[in-house]
Amino acid sequence: MKANQRQSRPGDAPGPGRRRVLECMVWAGTGVLWTVAGGVPRSRILGNEAEAAEGAASFSFVQISDSHLGFHGAANPDVPGTLRRAIAEVKENADQAAFMIHTGDVSHTSQPVQFDTARTIIKEAGLETHFVPGEHDVLVDAGKGYFSRFGEGKARWYSFDEKGVHFIGLDNVSALGTKGLGHLGADQLAWLKKDLAGRSASQPIVVMAHIPLWQVYPQWGWGTEEAAELLAMLRQFGSVTVLNGHIHQIIQKVEGRVTFHTARSTAFPQAAPAPDANPGPLKVPAGRLKEVLGTASVSYVAGNARLAIIDTPLGA
Amino acid sequence: MRPLSAGLLAALLATAPLAARADRQVTIDQHMFVPATVTVHPGEKVTWVNKDQDVHNVTSDDQGRSFRTPLLDAGESATLTFAAPGTFGYHCSVHPDMTGTVIVK
């Protein structure tokens, strides 16, 4: 990951207002535009014109995450505002995207008004949106408020195909494991096994879940208990991309032909894992915003045998 | 941890005034319960005050979840009265890595 300052352009801003908003958006995160070319998903941060020309592939989608409507701490006093900014950015790029995914924590405390406000804002993008739940979405009444609005079908998990790519939406938050780790459960794993059975190993697979599906930092619950079992099921496929939220920062990892990636939040950042840090909302001093959270986009490029990661700084 | 006795009274009083006894306060901040261990006498109260930006609760570790506060948003608090002696481990159900202990003796 590379920090990078986003520069405002002459004529871009009539006053400090817009520039300030853009600076905020750098750390709050906007959306990630995913492009699937030749079965290999590639990502770039929205608003990065330098790479826009590369979006001329067959099919792309946008990922947003961790809206946390209802949060009103010092780390971001205007969570609806930053979500609106993110959606505005998505809208500007909507002609490139087939749909959008939201990787959980739509709300902060599972209140109906939070879900409804988020839904209203997200609809502004004009894109069909597939959601997976975050633990903040299922705090009340087993997540009824979330699933009644954003659920797909009767189960808490689902799959669909888009232009030959198989998308899987998992729920690893309804029954948290020990130490807050994500937990899928036997029913969901059995369903997944069936869902994958008989598929061609050449079909690209995209798996979505809120909590990282690999062990990022188990001390903070940043991982999923059945990660090894899940990986074993996915290993047979030639291109697997696992998209998560939860940790409010970009972290990625490549394991064999499986690429793991977490998206930023549209609400507030969290600290990088470290023994002397804590996983709560991180208040970034205004003067250090660009320094600390100048963002990096990451691209996946097919090598001969495995995927490679290339840092792509914003506005470079 | 021994099983909780039926004498444990888990009364939720969001705005309970502190009694003039050895009642204890636990502050929730930076994803931690501070202090992590408090000791009270039977019948005394423990109040958790959420000074964090995040939402938390207090959930007993035992299978039966014999005590559990509502979700506490930033600035909210909850009070439990511990009637019977014992050692009671608890955690935040939203962030189970946050843990604490109430000793009643």
Q: Which residue has the higher pLDDT, A1 or A256?
A: A256
Residue with tokens 């697997």: A240
What per-residue confidence (pLDDT) applies to B65?
80
The closest of B43, B40, B49, B101 to B79, measured between CA atoms, is B49
Q: Is the model's pLDDT at A252 over the cut of 70?
A: yes
Average pLDDT over residues A303-315: 29
- Torsions phi, psi for A136 (to 5 deg): -75, -15
Q: Is the model's pLDDT at A228 over the cut of 70?
A: yes
* Position B19 in a domain: no
Confidence of residue B103 (pLDDT cuts 50, 70, 90): very high
Least trusted range by pLDDT, from A80-84, A107-111, B4-8: B4-8
DSSP per position, A97-153: -SEEEE-S--BSS--HHHHHHHHHHHHTT-S-EEE---GGGSSSGGGHHHHHHH--S
Contact A179 B97 (CB under 8 A): yes
What per-residue confidence (pLDDT) applies to A282?
78
Give B-chain residues touching A137 at CB under 8 angstroms. none
Residues on A contacting B at a C-beta cutoff of 8 Å: 71-75, 108-109, 135-136, 139-140, 176, 178-180, 219-221, 278-281, 283
Residue pLDDT, tens place only, B12-61 = 444 444 444 678 999 999 899 999 999 999 999 999 999 998 999 999 99
What per-residue confidence (pLDDT) applies to A92?
78
Which of A135, A179, A280 has its CB closest to that of B53? Answer: A280
User: What does R_g of chain B's alpha carbons equal in angstroms?
Assistant: 12
Give residue A114's Cα distance to chain centre. 19
Q: Which residue has the higher pLDDT, A16 or B60?
A: B60
d(CA B86, CA B101): 10
* Position B59 in a domain: yes
Q: Is the model's pLDDT at A257 over the cut of 90?
A: no
* Position B15 in a domain: no
Q: Is the model's pLDDT at A229 over the cut of 80?
A: yes
User: How many CB atoms within 10 Å of residue A173?
Assistant: 28
CATH of the domain at B81: 2.60.40.420
**What angle is formed at CA A142 by the lines to CA A137 and CA A145, rounded to 5 degrees?**
55
Q: Is the model's pLDDT at A165 over the cut of 50?
A: yes
Instruction: State the total domains in chain B.
Output: 1
Which of B32, B54, B95 has its CB closest to that of A221? Answer: B95
DSSP per position, B70-96: PPB-TT-EEEEEE-S-EEEEEE-SSST
- Torsions phi, psi for A161 (to 5 deg): -110, 145
Contact B54 A280 (CB under 8 A): yes
* Position B28 in a domain: yes
Average pLDDT over residues A126-137: 95
Least trusted range by pLDDT, from A4-8, A270-274, B14-18, B59-63: A4-8
Q: Which residue has the higher pLDDT, A154 or A95?
A: A154
What per-residue confidence (pLDDT) applies to A278?
83
Give B-chain residues touching A139 at CB under 8 angstroms. 55, 71, 94
Give A-chain residues touching B32 at CB under 8 angstroms. 278
Rounded-to-10 torsion of CA B31, B37, B40, B42: 90
Least trusted range by pLDDT, from A42-56, A292-306, B80-94: A292-306
Give A-chain residues touching B54 at CB under 8 angstroms. 73, 280-281
* Position B96 in a domain: yes
| B25, B49 contact by CB (below 8 A) | yes
d(CA A287, CA A272): 19
What per-residue confidence (pLDDT) applies to A304?
26
Give A-chain residues touching B73 at CB under 8 angstroms. 109
* Position B2 in a domain: no
Total residue count of chain A as it appears in this document: 316
d(CA A189, CA A187): 6
Least trusted range by pLDDT, from A53-62, A196-205, B3-12: B3-12
Which of B32, B73, B95 has its CB closest to that of A109? Answer: B73
Contact A136 B31 (CB under 8 A): no
Confidence of residue A12 (pLDDT cuts 50, 70, 90): very low
Q: Is the model's pLDDT at A4 over the cut of 90?
A: no
* Position B83 in a domain: yes
What per-residue confidence (pLDDT) applies to A31?
67
The rounded percent of chain A whose pLDDT value lies above 70 is 71
Confidence of residue A267 (pLDDT cuts 50, 70, 90): confident
Q: Which residue has the higher pLDDT, A295 or B15?
A: B15
* Position B1 in a domain: no
Give B-chain residues touching A180 at CB under 8 angstroms. 94-97
d(CA A210, CA A15): 38
Say whether the ipTM exceeds 0.85: no
| Owning domain of residue B63 | 24-104
Residue pLDDT, tens place only, A28-56 = 456 677 766 655 666 666 655 444 444 33
What per-residue confidence (pLDDT) applies to B21?
64
Q: Is the model's pLDDT at A196 over the cut of 60?
A: yes
Q: Which residue on chain A is closest to B29 by alpha carbon?
A: A280
Ordered structural domains, chain A, with CATH: 16-313 (3.60.21.10)
Which of B55, B93, B97 has its CB closest to that of A108? Answer: B55
**pLDDT mean across residues, chain A:** 76
Confidence of residue B100 (pLDDT cuts 50, 70, 90): very high
Q: Which residue on chain A is closest to B93 by alpha carbon?
A: A180
Least trusted range by pLDDT, from A191-205, B11-25, B38-52, B85-99: B11-25
